[in-house]
Amino acid sequence: MSKHWGPLAAVVCVLLVSPLAACARPSPAPTTPPVLPIETSSDNISESALASKVPRISIEELRQKIEGGDDILLVDARKAEEYAKDRIKGAISVPLDVIIAGEWTPPKDKEVILY
């Protein structure tokens, strides 16, 4: 009779332990800053006003993300010639004019950091 309870006991144990194990783990703090809407309907909006609405991180914060193995996508928004001369290791080239023209869509599953 015990041979019949072995598999059932394992299933019950998994069902009881799995939810508890999930509850015991602290949920990670959000790493992606909130995306703020940028209104561009008026031509009177200055470039500095738009820039003030873009979330920013420091070089040290970026270094920590890279060294910590965070799931980020580094985008070098300079011209391709500048990217060819020097870049941050792992960055991809997507020139700003390509981004502004809407010819590039960032992935939704990664934190995107432009420089």
CB atoms inside a 10 Å sphere around CB 75: 20
**CATH code of the domain covering residue 52:** 3.40.250
Domain contains 38: yes
- Total number of domains constituting the chain: 1
The radius of gyration computed from the CA coordinates of the chain, to the nearest angstrom, equals: 23
Domain contains 19: no
Domain contains 20: no
The DSSP 8-state label assigned to residue 68 in this structure reads T
Query: Which domain covers residue 79, as residue numbers?
Result: 29-114
Q: pLDDT by residue (tens digit) across 43-78?
A: 556 777 777 888 999 999 999 999 999 999 999 999
Q: What is the pTM of this model?
A: 0.56
Domain contains 51: yes
30 touches 55 (CB < 8 A):
no
